[in-house]
Amino acid sequence: MECEYLADGLTIRNERVLNDSGGTTFAGIDAATHPAFPFDNPTTYHVWKTYYDCYWQPLYCSELPSPVGEVLFIQGVNQGQRIVSRMLQFACNDYGSHLTVDSSIGQQTIRACWTPGINPQDLAKSFLSKSKKRYEAIVAGNPTQKKFLNGWNNRVFQIRQEFQLD
């Protein structure tokens, strides 16, 4: 199954990749996390609704400084809410916050992201660095995942390029 987004010419395919822990995946939405998603007949609305309800809203992306919210959202779809929440909390702590790392975005984490003196671009870079290290740790712990490492690293590279984080 394919779904083409005519506005930007992007084609997204339903993928079934051997050893992918998420199982069937469409536009980053995996069957392990989203078993009710209509993988046999996805629409743009289904993708948007899943992104919004399962990532954008629960991660409070609109309440975070740019580009932190956007980067958190993109990586949240790929790595999951709790993991990216934890990495963001660690990134905030790298800049002097004293957050309890509880893997949940709440008002304390949001305030920490807005702390004067924390540059949002630098915070996003720190977060992405943690994402990249996590990908490497996944492969170190499970070598069958190595086939995904280049794609994961390319994702981080493309995010850095898109948000001018170099």
- Please tell me whether residues 53 and 87 are part of one structural domain: no
Domain range spanning residue 133?
A: 82-166
Residues 51 and 93 occupy one common structural domain: no
Query: pLDDT band at 13, cuts 50/70/90?
Result: low
pTM over 0.85: yes
Number of domains in the chain: 2
pLDDT of 30 = 87
Chain segment 17-58, per-residue pLDDT in tens: 556 677 788 888 888 899 999 988 888 899 899 999 999 999
In 10 A of CB 39, how many CB atoms?
A: 20
Same domain, 10 and 48: yes
Among 118, 103, 120, 116, smallest CA distance to 64 is for: 120
Same domain, 157 and 105: yes
Distance CA 60, CA 79 (A): 16
Q: Which residues pair with 12 in a beta bridge?
A: 3
For 103-114, how does the pLDDT look when each residue is reduced to its tens digit (9 = 90+)?
999 999 999 999
Name the DSSP letter for residue 56: I
Is position 28 within any domain?
Answer: yes
